Amino acid sequence: MDKKTVLIVDDEENICLLFKDIFERESFMVYTAASGQEAMELFNKFKPQACIIDVHMPFSEFDGIEVLKRIKEIDKKTICTMVTRIDDVEVMNKAADLGAEEYLIKPVRLEMLQKLVERLKTAEYYR
């Protein structure tokens, strides 16, 4: 079986490194992006099965909601989890409407991150 792949999109390097470390320990192939543009370049190149996307990236060309929208337009089956510091019901609803499967609030507790890893490890994904 091929390795499951995940794309982590966050403008905070320490978040990317933490998530990358946890997913790599669980045998995922991990790609990281610090901006919306970089995320789309990596998504188009590697076609990861799952994406963890920060909603607010103030220095990016576009935010995480736009990344989610573009990813789902390319492949609706990509599993997308949104992450943000802001508990905003309107943004949560928009993410859900665009196809996000989950929405986590930062700081993400390690047990929540581990639960996400386990869900993604067992998720059925067919191209």
Please tell me the pTM assigned to this model: 0.92
Question: How far is Cα 89 from Cα 17, in angstroms, rounded to an integer?
Answer: 28
Tens of pLDDT, residue by residue over 22-42, are 999 999 999 999 999 999 999
For the chain, give every domain's residue range: 5-122
What are the two backbone dihedrals, phi and then psi, of residue 100, each rounded to the nearest 5 degrees? Answer: -65, 135
Q: Which pLDDT tens digit goes with each residue over 53-102?
A: 999 998 888 999 999 999 999 999 999 999 998 888 899 999 999 999 99
CATH superfamily of 5-122: Response regulator (3.40.50.2300)
CA contacts within 13 A on the Cβ side of 63: 10
40, 62 contact by CB (below 8 A): no
